[in-house]
Chain A
Amino acid sequence: MEGVLAMREKHKDRFGSVVFVLCVVTVGMAVLHMVLREQYAPGHPVRLAMTSILGLTFASFIFVYARLLSRMDEYQRQIQLFALAIGFPLSLVLIWGIGYFRAEGLLQGADPRDLPAVLMAAYAVGFVFAWLRYR
């Protein structure tokens, strides 16, 4: 029993490292993408490669988040649910707000490619609320 628990904990730690590395790689790729996309013309192989890699890292979050949820206990899942319950509608409001202000001639620099950052920010706000509620 103790051995199984220890093994499970060790496996959990390793998975945590994988998630951390994936986050660092994704943020790094996103920043690199923002810098490089201004230096190359649309359709340039470097831009295409960067976009493809970034797309893959984003797609891998679907798998990672699903695995992460399956490893959480009911309390941790409750926190995630609470975070998403706030983060999802907040992201809708933010996206609508950006679109609205762009239509009014404001926030012209806003780019749909940067929307994941808006979604992440909304999720972070939701997570802070959840953490405050259940800590």
Chain B
Amino acid sequence: MAALSVTLKTNVRDNEMKNRLRVLRAEHEWTQEELAQRAGVSRQAINAIETEKYDPSLPLAIKVARLFGKPVEEIFLIDESEK
């Protein structure tokens, strides 16, 4: 069971994504709930993205980037340090 969990986790986390969502949200003084409403997703989705447990789809990443008025690559980054 533990091996299954590790396998699934490893496959999902092959491309480690980092993001600056929490920092930007703090700068705008938005709560997770406010950002979620503006982006049209659940608060849990924003929390999972911030804690880097879930990588957003391209449309959602673009939507979030537009909300903050920044290019996508300034918010979502691929961590290549481990490669």
Contact = CB atoms under 8 A, between A and B. Distances in A.
Interface in B26-60: 37, 40-42, 44-45, 48-49, 53-54, 56-57, 60
B37 A73 contact: no
Given A5-B37, A134-B53, A75 B5 contact: no
A75 B8 contact: no
B48 A134 contact: yes
B54 A78 contact: yes
Given A73-B45, A74-B41, 7 more contacts: A74-B45, A75-B41, A75-B48, A76-B42, A78-B54, A129-B5, A135-B48
Contacts of B49: 75
A113 interface: no
Interface string B1-41: 00001001100100000000000000000000000010011
A44 interface: no
A78 B55 CA distance: 10
Interface string B54-83: 101100100000000000000000000000
B45 A75 contact: yes
B8 A74 contact: no
Contacts of A74: 41, 45, 56-57, 60
A66 to B, nearest CB: 19
**Max count, chain B CB within 10 A of own CB: residue among A5, A73, A132:** A73
Main DSSP-derived SS at the B contact region: helix
Interface string A93-135: 0000000000000000000000000000000000001001111
Contacts of A82: 8
A5 B37 CA distance: 7
Contacts of A78: 54
A86 to B, nearest CB: 8
A68 B56 CA distance: 20
**Max count, chain A CB within 10 A of own CB: residue among B40, B48, B60:** B48
A48 B44 CA distance: 44
